[in-house]
Amino acid sequence: MGIFDGLHIGYSGLNASQSGINTTSHNISNVNTPGYTGQRINQQVNPPLHSIPGDSGSGVRVETINRIHDEFVYARLKNSSAKMEHHQFLKETLQEVTNYFPDLQESAIANDLTKFFSSWSDVAQYPNDSAQKVILAQTTSTLAHDIKETREQLVGLQDRLDEQLVMAVDEVNSIAKQIADINKDINRVESTYEANANDLRDRRDELEMRLTKLIDATVFKGKLRSDNSVDRALTDQGKDYNINIAGHNIVDGASYHPLYLQASAGSENGKLTNVYFMDQDRRKVDLTPKIKSGRVGAIIALRGDGVDEKGHATNSKIQEYIDSLDSFSKGLIEGVNSIYAHSPQEQIVANFPDGVNDGVKLVDVDGLNEGSFDLIVYDQNGNEVARRQIEIDDQTIFNDPSATEKNSLVEKINRIKDDNGDNDGSNDFDDFFEATFVNGQLSINPKSSGYSVAIEDHGTNIAGLTGVHRFFDGSSAKDIDLNVALAREPGRIRAYGKPIDGNNDVANKMVAFQFQEVQFDLPYGNKKRDTVEGFYRALTSDIASDAANAGHRYDAAEVLHKSVEAQFNSVSGVDMDEELVNLMKYQTAYQANAKVLTTVDRMIDALLGIKQ
């Protein structure tokens, strides 16, 4: 080993120290750069010269520059970030929904209901006072307006969620394409120069983090390798990299396969978009129901993942609120209209839903129940002159044109029968009115003038469903309103049950209605009995509870995320104190190696001086 070997050894030390200083400087300059992970040089002894009396060292080399990255901790960080993003979006959206139902402040629909029944109470005290009827019409219109406006806000929220879904999926595609491009660069750098593309990997990790916050993507990086030169550093090899969403790869190494969007047919508002993947056979696979995490998963949970036969979003928290508001409104409309039908009129016209024909069973019509109702005839003086009870069982049909079926609605109404039990064949219901059923419309028409007819229901809901004498128009929160004729002329509102001056039977029944249980038809055939106010309070309580639970879940997710983030930063983050120590260490090493070069240089000068 000669004197020039010492020069080479010192030079290798200078290079290694310079590389350490450069790496430390790079760490310090990026201490506040999002997504940056600290880097360390991996120094190795140069291969020695094997000679007698033993191996002679040949200096040092920087084998690699590694980033300090624990893939397992990073995976936990991605997972906690996705959960926090998911619950944060749910929390913020549900808090917005609670603002549509400000009933904790005794305003909006709950307050409207109180005023509605209070106005009926005033009408009951002064049944002939037109001013009280005008106030009733105003409070009714306000109640209907607030119900419709609340529903419109919920539907509008669904629309906005759909728009956010479209933007989020576009961002997913953009990120996936960027990752595929970065994979191409990583493969090129690491295969050509046998180096670690640390900054490219940091950029890819940052994009992965953004992606998992948006959607529940699973990243596969092939077999991990452990780099023992850096404490707890686990690094992917950069091969067989792919990103999978709901069982389909949107990134395969440097290849990118986008997600597609398509509007669902038949949705109520026409704005429900689904997420699809195009497989190798060019077939679209609907991924929407399978996406459960991230911002997109939260959007789908709130907005819905499909459309049912009624055009309503399925598996949708917002749709649940809309359906409950519709059920509440339907129960209110039918309950009030059923009571209002107690007020007699010259003719009854009942319109049943489409598809109802002669042979259909009444109990098969959605909203009609087994039970009975009374048809009551009044004369011009308000005297009850006839009453017939109509029983409806599980076999009652609407009509039998052959007149052989004794269990039809029309036959029961028209049957010649001694209703009064007085053996007088001229003062029964069939002597004053007769029924016809044509194209789903039941008409009960007078046989002579001077008489009126009313319906008193006992659980069938026939008057409420068909609106034989409407106080409310509409059938749900979408179209509820005060009957247009009553809105134009509030003085026509009837408070009486018997057509005599001062009678207030209907108004009293309306006041009592607020305390009576009503059957509410829920989606998919479910039913619930409650008072009108009780059902609405339950709805608002559910919304408040959902928002509170979302807040609690977000708080828990945030605590977990902060814990994992602290662990990740302790491994991969840049510690300024540590970097400054390293800077001094490499600076000292650099100065020492420079001293070696100076010493060797003097040795060479001395050697040359001897020669002279």
Tens digits of residue pLDDT in 218-236: 998 877 777 665 555 677 7
Q: Given this model, what pLDDT does residue 522 score? A: 85
Regarding predicted confidence, which is higher, 521 or 170?
A: 170
Q: Given this model, what pLDDT does residue 266 score? A: 58
Q: Which of 468, 499, 532 is the last residue of a domain?
A: 468
Q: Which of 218-227, 250-259, 570-579 has the lowest mean pLDDT?
A: 218-227
- Whether residue 452 is contained in a domain is answered as yes
Residues 129/296, Cβ–Cβ less than 8 Å: no
Nearest to 288 by CA among 313, 309, 266, 312: 313
Q: Given this model, what pLDDT does residue 97 score? A: 94
- Whether residue 482 is contained in a domain is answered as no
Q: Provide the phi-psi class of 310: left if phi over 0, else alpha when psi is between -120 and 50, else beta.
A: alpha
Say yes or no to pLDDT of 272 above 80.
yes
What confidence category does residue 107 fall into, taking pLDDT thresholds of 50, 70 and 90? low
- Whether residue 61 is contained in a domain is answered as yes
- Whether residue 518 is contained in a domain is answered as no
Q: Given this model, what pLDDT does residue 268 score? A: 64
Say yes or no to pLDDT of 174 above 90.
yes
Nearest to 451 by CA among 348, 359, 365, 532: 348
Q: Given this model, what pLDDT does residue 64 score? A: 84
Structural domain total, the chain:
2
Locate 454 and state its tokens.
């009313």
Residue 359 belongs to domain spanning: 344-468
| DSSP secondary structure letter of residue 490 | G
Regarding predicted confidence, which is higher, 138 or 6?
A: 138
Give alpha helix (H) positions in 194-283. Answer: 198-214
- Whether residue 191 is contained in a domain is answered as no
Quick one: what percent of the chain has pLDDT higher than 90? 63
Q: Do β-strands 255-256 and 248-252 pair in parallel, antiparallel, or remain unpaired?
A: antiparallel
Residues 174/209, Cβ–Cβ less than 8 Å: no
Q: Given this model, what pLDDT does residue 485 score? A: 92
* Interatomic CA distance for residues 217 and 171, integer angstroms: 13
Range ranked top by mean pLDDT from 231-240, 261-270, 442-451: 442-451
The mean of the pLDDT values for the chain is 89
Q: Buried b / exposed e across 359-379, counting CB within 10 Å, b at 16+?
A: ebbbbebebbbebebebbbbe
What confidence category does residue 270 fall into, taking pLDDT thresholds of 50, 70 and 90? low
Residues 165/296, Cβ–Cβ less than 8 Å: yes
For 63-71, what is the mean pLDDT? Answer: 87
Residues 463/372, Cβ–Cβ less than 8 Å: no
Q: What is the pTM of this model?
A: 0.87
Say yes or no to pLDDT of 357 above 60.
yes
Residues 165/303, Cβ–Cβ less than 8 Å: yes
Q: Given this model, what pLDDT does residue 335 score? A: 93
For 329-355, what is the mean pLDDT? Answer: 92
Q: Which of 178-182, 263-267, 306-310, 353-357 has the lowest mean pLDDT?
A: 263-267
Q: Which of 468, 490, 519 is the last residue of a domain?
A: 468
Neighbour tally for 225: CB within 10 Å: 12
- Whether residue 195 is contained in a domain is answered as no
What confidence category does residue 552 fall into, taking pLDDT thresholds of 50, 70 and 90? very high
Which sign does the torsion angle of CA 213, 214, 218, 221 carry? negative
Q: Given this model, what pLDDT does residue 2 score? A: 66
Q: Which of 99-113, 208-222, 439-453, 582-596 has the lowest mean pLDDT?
A: 99-113
Locate 7 and state its tokens.
């020069």
Q: Which of 433, 468, 503 is the last residue of a domain?
A: 468
For 99-128, what is the mean pLDDT? Answer: 87
Q: Given this model, what pLDDT does residue 114 score? A: 93
* Interatomic CA distance for residues 400 and 436, integer angstroms: 11
* Interatomic CA distance for residues 207 and 96, integer angstroms: 30
- Whether residue 50 is contained in a domain is answered as yes
Say yes or no to pLDDT of 203 above 80.
yes
Q: Given this model, what pLDDT does residue 88 score? A: 96
Nearest to 333 by CA among 135, 140, 495: 140
- Whether residue 260 is contained in a domain is answered as no
Say yes or no to pLDDT of 493 above 90.
yes
